Copies of this chain bind each other. A is one copy, B any other.
Amino acid sequence: MSLLTVGTVAFDNIETPFGKAEKVIGGAATYISWAASYFTNDIHIVSVVGEDFPEDELSALESRGVNLEGLQKKKGEKSFYWSGRYHTDMNTRDTLDTQLNVLADFEPILPESAKKAEFVMLGNLTPQVQISVIDQLETKPKLIVLDTMNFWMDTAMDSLREVLHRIDVLTINDEEARQLSGEYSLVKAWHKIKEMGPKYLIIKKGEHGALLFHEDYIFSAPALPLAEVYDPTGAGDTFAGGFIGYLASTGNVSYPNMKLAVIYGSAMASFCVEKFSLERMKSLDSDQIENRIEEFENLVYFDTKLNGK
């Protein structure tokens, strides 16, 4: 089924304890689309880039089944740019520079082909932009997933509250879930956030995995312990892309299938961090993905019927 993703298409400057990657391709919509493209080839990006964005990167996306009709290209302007440095723990980072450029006055315009999307992934952007995308949809999607961050909780809480009422799945990290709900316990946080609109909450915990909350159910997905983590940039977006890409490919939004989607998202994120930027995401195949899903299965498997035997 068709998938619409809205988010940045951008440049990143990344420093990790393992090295530097200067002005590499980044952006939420880029990572989401690459990850989703291993599951479906009916993907629409709504975003904006400047004149400086390399054409071959866009062609590479198109060759993966990504429709770029909704990607605005601003003549004489520059693409969104983010620069950051990761600490030794790879879980925390400092933002060194953010240049909004084309993003400063971005108004999303959905092409006709995207207005009936059945799956919608709203990457981390201002809640106002996310609302505008929902407003332009002509049919009610099967599923809307929203990513956001603490910055919007601090600066645009009213709009964030509005968009939360109109989506199905919210993905945030544990600190953001605590900030949004005012509750330290993630179980209590979910019960508060549920009242704000989302039917599902995914809490991304990086190297500690992810939690999926729905009604009174909790699903705990592990993270695959890795010998090498080169670059965590885009891992959250890659997770989201694998999650919604898998769901769109199956057309099934049942809770059991949603759990499996969290595992697909986690598997895609585990690939993403193995190399800098999009490098690993561009060199995957479905056998590698299925093998990794099996690794996740083995990682958590235990047999209660064993009971000492």
Residue numbers of A with Cβ under 8 A of B are 88-90, 184-188, 205, 208-209, 211, 218-223, 225-229, 246, 249-252, 256-257, 259-260, 262-263, 293-294, 297, 299-304, 306-309
Contact = CB atoms under 8 A, between A and B. Distances in A.
Given A208-B205, A251-B308, A302 B256 contact: yes
B302 A259 contact: yes
Contacts of A221: 300, 302
Contacts of A309: 250, 252
Contacts of A262: 302
A228 B185 CA distance: 7
A189 to B, nearest CB: 10
A185 B229 contact: yes
A228 B246 CA distance: 34
Contact of A225 (B220, B226, B300): B220
Given A222-B222, A251-B308, A308-B249, A303 B185 contact: no
Nearest to A305: B260
Closest 10 CB pairs of A and B: A250-B308, A220-B222, A208-B208, A187-B227, A300-B300, A259-B302, A220-B299, A252-B308, A187-B225, A260-B302
Contacts of A223: 220
Nearest to A190: B225
A251 to B, nearest CB: 7
Query: How many of these chains are in the complex?
Result: 2
A252 B219 CA distance: 30
B218 A300 contact: no
A186 B308 contact: no
A67 B185 CA distance: 39
* Residue of A219, A229, A293 with highest tally of chain B CB at under 10 A: A219
Contacts of A304: 260, 263, 293-294, 297
B219 A186 contact: no
Contacts of A229: 185
A307 B294 CA distance: 13
A115 B301 CA distance: 36
A222 B303 contact: no
A184 B297 contact: no
Contact of A306 (B209, B218, B257, B301): B257
A262 B303 CA distance: 12
B299 A219 contact: yes
A188 B227 contact: yes
